[in-house]
């Protein structure tokens, strides 16, 4: 079922420019209506419809779990560079090809399939489950999650969230390490009158000590853990594998210059836990002072500690799937809808475990695709996580 749902969703054009998420939301509504799952579509402006489904829990003392995803996708770009049309959802060599296959309609189809399985199996969760497939994520979230977190009671009152942003596997020896997004860097952009003479456009300059930041994140904020340190040590010793985490990108703030509409823009990406003083130090290092700058945009950094019941369950169930699997916390350089929920104090992790054969290069690029076998494996793992965390059973009623 999950493959057909994904193909149906890909065939609905929900590019940012199309403003057509409502059509995809209507499709999800028809599926949930068929299985008697409570649901609604919320459309703050025409075309920007978000879908929310709900299976209530019988233990009202347990805060609800939100399964988060989004319906909109990036643009197609040059169609001549696609092997198949990005809306065709072709199955090719065991893979489904099309815009949104990974970002983020694969996750939409996974969450919907889990809800359908719960209904078909007559499971009754102790902890309530909310499924949200929202609009406008690729465009900043104003008409999607930013609107919902202020206006929808289910979203307001949930406590735990699993969304996108993690699940990318990195192999070291026989072990697969899956990234779990528990933090996002913040971003502040300045329009400036001049830039440092020795600074290159688009070059990223890292600031601070990654080792000190890792130790602070391990001991103070609990952003990192010993599993991540173990991974980084192994990675430094074994340099033959293709995929790596860059230590500076993971644990350091950075800045870069770029041209935008005839202006010079300085963008600073701050790690969680840094403050305004850190931004001032970077500005000074970049040679920018006083009235030479004007804030153009600001997105605060955000994080969730890894010392929670939900994170530990993600770890244990991932390892059950294979004894050689591990999970490591990961700070992403870009931001997602997860930030709106973290700003409200929710426990939020990004986790959509992909196959090792899946490539992230097609996300927002060409020939985006996902392995069908990997999608099914991900469904089985995430289904187990959801069933265990919500204490689903068949004997309550």
What is the tens place of the pLDDT at every residue in 17-51? 999 999 999 999 999 999 999 999 999 999 999 99
Whether residues 225 and 95 share a domain: the answer is no
Q: Which of 142-151, 255-264, 380-389 has the lowest mean pLDDT?
A: 255-264
Q: For 291-299, what is the mean pLDDT? A: 83
Measured distance CA(175)–CA(56) in Å, rounded:
38
Confidence of residue 243 (pLDDT cuts 50, 70, 90): confident
Give the per-residue pLDDT at 334.
87
Give the per-residue pLDDT at 198.
61
Give the per-residue pLDDT at 196.
63
Residues 6+ apart with CB under 8 A from 243: 168, 169, 170, 171
Q: Which of 231-235, 272-276, 319-323, 372-376 has the lowest mean pLDDT?
A: 272-276
Q: Other C-beta atoms within 10 Å of 182: how many?
A: 32
Query: Looking at the domain assignment, is residue 218 inside a domain?
Result: yes
More confident residue, 208 or 290: 208
Domain boundary residue, one of 245, 280, 299: 299
Residue 119 has pLDDT above 60, yes or no: yes
Residues 6+ apart with CB under 8 A from 127: 57, 59, 62, 63, 64, 65, 389, 390, 391
Whether residues 36 and 153 share a domain: the answer is yes
Query: Looking at the domain assignment, is residue 242 inside a domain?
Result: yes
Q: Other C-beta atoms within 10 Å of 312: how many?
A: 12
Phi, psi of 285 (to 5 degrees): -65, -35
Whether residues 19 and 128 share a domain: the answer is yes
Whether residues 176 and 29 share a domain: the answer is no
Total number of domains constituting the chain: 2
Give the per-residue pLDDT at 339.
98
Mean residue pLDDT across the chain: 92
More confident residue, 329 or 188: 329
Residue 64 has pLDDT above 90, yes or no: yes
Give the per-residue pLDDT at 397.
39
Give the per-residue pLDDT at 56.
97
Containing structural domain, residue 72: 2-165+336-389
Domain boundary residue, one of 299, 319, 352: 299
Among 231, 194, 191, which Cα is nearest to 214's? Answer: 231
Query: Looking at the domain assignment, is residue 311 inside a domain?
Result: no
Query: Looking at the domain assignment, is residue 204 inside a domain?
Result: yes
Contact in structure between 72 and 132 (CB atoms under 8 Å): no
Residue 65 has pLDDT above 80, yes or no: yes
Share of the chain above pLDDT 70, in %: 94
Query: Looking at the domain assignment, is residue 352 inside a domain?
Result: yes
Query: Looking at the domain assignment, is residue 328 inside a domain?
Result: no
Whether residues 174 and 286 share a domain: the answer is yes
Q: For 368-392, what is the mean pLDDT? A: 97
Query: Looking at the domain assignment, is residue 158 inside a domain?
Result: yes
Whether residues 64 and 191 share a domain: the answer is no
Whether residues 174 and 294 share a domain: the answer is yes
Whether residues 50 and 106 share a domain: the answer is yes
Residue 137 has pLDDT above 70, yes or no: yes
Whether residues 184 and 216 share a domain: the answer is yes
Give the per-residue pLDDT at 13.
98
Query: Looking at the domain assignment, is residue 318 inside a domain?
Result: no
Whether residues 9 and 90 share a domain: the answer is yes
| Token output for 242 | 């293709």
377: CATH: 3.40.630.10
List pLDDT tens digits, range 210-230: 999 999 999 988 999 999 999
Residue 396 has pLDDT above 50, yes or no: no
Give the per-residue pLDDT at 289.
72
Whether residues 114 and 184 share a domain: the answer is no
Predicted TM-score of the model (pTM): 0.94
Whether residues 203 and 150 share a domain: the answer is no
More confident residue, 189 or 279: 189
Residue 361 has pLDDT above 80, yes or no: no
Confidence of residue 294 (pLDDT cuts 50, 70, 90): confident
Domain boundary residue, one of 299, 324, 352: 299
């Amino acid at each position: 079922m999950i493959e057909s749902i994904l193909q149906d969703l890909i065939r609905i054009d929900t590019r940012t420019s199309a403003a057509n998420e409502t059509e995809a939301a209507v499709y999800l509504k028809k599926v949930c209506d068929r299985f008697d799952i409570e649901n609604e579509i919320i459309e703050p402006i025409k075309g920007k419809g978000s879908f929310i489904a709900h299976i209530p829990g019988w233990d009202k003392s347990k805060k609800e779990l939100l399964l988060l995803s989004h319906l909109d996708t990036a643009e197609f770009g040059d169609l001549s560079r696609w092997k198949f049309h990005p809306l065709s959802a072709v199955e090719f060599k065991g893979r489904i090809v099309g815009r949104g296959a990974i970002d983020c309609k694969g996750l939409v189809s996974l969450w919907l399939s889990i809800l359908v399985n719960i209904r078909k199996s007559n499971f009754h969760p102790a902890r309530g489950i909310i499924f949200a497939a929202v609009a406008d994520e690729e465009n900043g979230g104003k008409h999607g999650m930013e609107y919902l977190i202020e206006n929808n009671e289910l979203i307001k009152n949930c406590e735990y969230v699993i969304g996108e942003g993690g699940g990318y596997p990195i192999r070291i020896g026989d072990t697969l390490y899956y990234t779990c997004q528990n933090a996002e860097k913040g971003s502040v952009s300045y329009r400036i009158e001049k830039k440092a003479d020795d600074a290159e456009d688009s070059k990223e300059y890292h600031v601070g000590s990654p080792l000190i930041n890792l130790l602070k994140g391990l001991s103070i904020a609990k952003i990192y853990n010993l599993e991540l340190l173990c991974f980084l040590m192994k990675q430094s010793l074994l340099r033959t594998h293709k995929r790596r985490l860059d230590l500076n990108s993971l644990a350091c703030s950075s800045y870069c210059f770029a041209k935008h509409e005839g202006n010079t823009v300085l963008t600073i990406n701050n790690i969680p836990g840094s403050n305004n003083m850190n931004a001032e130090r970077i500005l000074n290092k970049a040679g920018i002072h006083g009235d030479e700058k004007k804030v153009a945009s600001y997105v605060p950094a955000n994080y969730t500690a890894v010392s929670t019941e939900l994170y530990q369950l993600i770890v244990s169930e991932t390892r059950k799937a294979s004894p050689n699997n591990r999970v490591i916390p990961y700070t992403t350089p870009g931001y997602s809808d997860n930030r709106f929920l973290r700003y409200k104090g929710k426990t939020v992790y990004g986790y959509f475990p992909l196959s090792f054969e899946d490539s992230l290069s097609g996300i927002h690029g060409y020939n985006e695709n996902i392995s069908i076998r990997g999608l099914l494996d991900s469904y089985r793992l995430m289904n187990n996580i959801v069933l265990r965390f919500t204490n689903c059973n068949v004997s309550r009623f």
